Amino acid sequence: MEEKQCTLRRKVSVTGAGLHTRQCGTLTFNPAPANTGIRFRRVDLEDQPIIEADVDNVIDTTRGTTLGKGGVKIYTVEHVLASLRGMGIDNVLIDIDVEEMPIMDGSGREFVRVLKEAGIVQQKALRDYYVVKEPISYRNEVLGIELSIEPCETFKIDVTVKYNTKVLDKQSASLHDMKDFESEIAPCRTFVFLHELETLLSRNLIKGGDLTNAIVFVNKNVSSEELDHIAAFFKKPKVEVKEGGILNNVDLYFDNEPARHKLLDVIGDLTLVGKPIKGHVTAYKPGHFSNTAFARKIKHTMLQQENQ
């Protein structure tokens, strides 16, 4: 069955702070012509440079996926990209007036909300899928990471995470119909372990964190003094460790919310292949570095097949 490309009916904006930089910026999604793809435009800079959502433009994956081109960077693009792909939007020009995407609540829910508010419309051009013809895989044997994709008539994804901790060990999540993205995946927030949080704070990162945009897992004994320090940093009167080993800043939407969020990240990073995909993805212990390395392999195979 043929499908048409989609864009937005009208432009729509969302404003918020970046997770790591705390830069408060406005993200504006603009309709774009067919075959434009997804592009970011830094409207705060002279000449308003454009960076395409392409895996070839990935320059860092330390705490999120960063794109760069000609010395211009945009940070933490994965939740925005996942939301666009999850809502079936092919063509959009995204204006951003700071370096980092707003983190919002740490998920894709707010981006999905404003995209629906703008309205999604079909265009005349047909959607150009990359149809997987043979298995493609990426492995990191040292870290035990494996991602693979096999031929499939639709896009499906299964993700498993494993952290070897008492509070968060092995979890799995699946998305076998993109129609379920909005309700099952988009609301799932990023997460961090308490020891990682302390390291990030010491490195002057997560300046935009406010304990409402991340699930914090506590996998060690923690003193009341440490909790008071965290509460003071985030300007909270008090934080405590709840049953289940998470801080009392949030409640889980799903028992496997961390795995679902990792699935969201995989969708966002694989959007950088440049085309929607028909294939069945299986990811074990994925992260932004492995996701984007896998995306490069898929794009390389896609280009090889197109040139045959």
Q: Which residues pair with 126 in a beta bridge?
A: 4
**Nearest-CA neighbor of 112 among 32, 14, 182, 10?**
182
Do the strands 66-69 and 72-74 form a parallel or antiparallel pair, or are they unpaired?
antiparallel
Start-to-end C-alpha separation, the chain = 25
Active-site entry in 20, 176, 288, 300? 288
Is 288 among the residues known to form the active site? yes
Rounded CA separation 292/79 (Å)? 14
CA distance to 56, 133, 270, 283, per residue, from 136 (Å): 18, 9, 13, 12
- Return the ∠ at Cα 28 (arms to 71 and 192), rounded to 5°: 70
Query: Which structure tokens are listed for 220?
Result: 């060690």
- Residue 71 has a CB neighbour count (10 Å cut-off) of 6
The catalytic residues are: 288
